[in-house]
Amino acid sequence: MNDFEKSSQNLLSQFYDELITVDRKGVLTAQTYETSIRFLLVWCKKQNKKISSLTVQDLLYYLVERKTQGLDSLTMAKDISALRSFGTFLTQQGIWKENIALLLERPKSNRRIPSVLTVEQVDFLLSSIDISTPLGLRDRALFELVYSCGLRISEVSDLLLQNVHLSERLLWVHGKGDKERVVPFGDDAFFWLKKWLDEGRPQLVGHKMVATLFVNYAGKPISRKGIWKRFKELEAQTGIDAKVHTLRHSFATHLLAGGADLRSVQELLGHSDLATTQIYTHVDDEQLRDYHRDFFPK
């Protein structure tokens, strides 16, 4: 590793630590910002430019090059957010006199309307899981819980056994940005969760002390990748085009379609901004158009 790589890695590590400990960013956000700034450092090396001497024009040239690589407006907006945070960090470190990245304007991202499943598709997907094995019981309980509570994949993989309150049918969820929330779960999730805890989990964990609710075949905490991989297998098995996150989208949409108010859904999803939750009202609009087209063709 040469001197440039060492100094870059050191700067990145300090920036990442600052995001986590001072700015209280979530791990995934911090990782996204770190990756974005890594691209900037590579660009600086290629252009033979020092971080300390960068100008707004340099940052614009860098972003133009990123754009030509096929990045969409949402990713570009994330890149600019990362640059702004990095600029704040550099200013605090005395590397920049002022945060020139604040002069960059974020592109208006055209939010994609999230795809959702019907209630029947969710039922078909979940009922297709083979529950004759401990891992099958785990999958059924895990995905039932994701749908019943609108959990992110990171939230369900990190869910602690001590934060599951069966008798009250409540979860204590550790979400993005270190925010915590309490989420209720329904009858189906309760049934399969109890079955997993009584029958499946003990077979995999044995006498080991494991803090997380869900474990892998070796009785160790299940990873996000492990959950994603299992869902891909279900997708192939059922022919339903979806992701784990689609269950979260479906949860929100089905709640709103059932008459839940937007603020309540915001709380259940753990969104800090109501505008983020409002995207699901557009999903409903799309469904209304479909119904109108199907039942009122003229």
**What integer pLDDT is reported at residue 104 of this predicted model?**
83
Q: Tokens at residue 260, please?
A: 């839940």
Task: Break the chain into its structural domains and give their ranges.
Answer: 3-103, 119-295
| pLDDT, average across residues 214-231 | 95
What is the rounded (10 degree) CA torsion for 206, 209, 215, 216? -60
| pLDDT, average across residues 157-172 | 94
Is pLDDT above 50 for 138?
Answer: yes
| pLDDT, average across residues 124-147 | 96
Residue tagged active-site, from 84, 140, 152, 201: 152
Residue tagged active-site, from 138, 140, 230, 271: 271
**What integer pLDDT is reported at residue 6 of this predicted model?**
61
Residue tagged active-site, from 66, 201, 248, 254: 248
Angle among Cα 62, 65, 68 to the nearest 5 degrees reads 155
**What integer pLDDT is reported at residue 278 of this predicted model?**
72
Is pLDDT above 60 for 158?
Answer: yes
Mind listing the pLDDT tens digit for each residue in 45-98? 999 999 999 998 889 888 888 887 877 777 888 898 999 999 999 999 999 999
**What integer pLDDT is reported at residue 281 of this predicted model?**
66
Q: Tokens at residue 252, please?
A: 């929100």
Q: Annotated catalytic, 108? A: no
Among 225, 258, 257, 270, residue whose Cα is nearest residue 244: 225
Question: Identical fold at 3-103 and 119-295?
Answer: no
Q: Annotated catalytic, 280? A: yes
Q: Annotated catalytic, 232? A: no
Residues in the chain: 298
Half-sphere exposure of 114 toward its Cβ, with a 13 Å CA cutoff? 21
Mind listing the pLDDT tens digit for each residue in 105-132? 766 555 566 788 888 999 999 999 999 9
Half-sphere exposure of 274 toward its Cβ, with a 13 Å CA cutoff? 4
SS3 per residue for the chain: CCHHHHHHHHHHHHHHHHHHHCCCCCHHHHHHHHHHHHHHHHHHHHHCCCHHHCCHHHHHHHHHHHHHCCCCHHHHHHHHHHHHHHHHHHHHCCCCCCCHHHHCCCCCCCCCCCCCCCHHHHHHHHHCCCCCCHHHHHHHHHHHHHHHHCCCHHHHHHCEHHHEECCCCEEEEECHHHCEEEEECCHHHHHHHHHHHHHHHHHHHCCCCCCECCECCCCCECCHHHHHHHHHHHHHHHCCCCCHHHHHHHHHHHHHHCCCCHHHHHHHHCCCCHHHHCHHHHHHHHHHHHHHHHHCCC
Residue tagged active-site, from 67, 169, 176, 243: 176
Mind listing the pLDDT tens digit for each residue in 235-289? 999 999 899 999 998 898 888 877 788 888 888 888 877 777 777 766 655 555 5
**What integer pLDDT is reported at residue 148 of this predicted model?**
93
Residue tagged active-site, from 16, 62, 147, 280: 280
Rounded Cα distance between 242 and 66, Å, is 29
Contact 182, 206 (CB under 8 A): no
**Topology (CATH level 3) of domain 3-103:** DNA polymerase; domain 1 (1.10.150)
Q: State the Rg of the chain over Cα.
A: 23
| pLDDT, average across residues 200-220 | 95
What is the rounded (10 degree) CA torsion for 254, 258, 264, 268? -30
Q: Is domain 119-295 given the CATH code 3.90.1150.10 in the classification? A: no
Q: Annotated catalytic, 176? A: yes
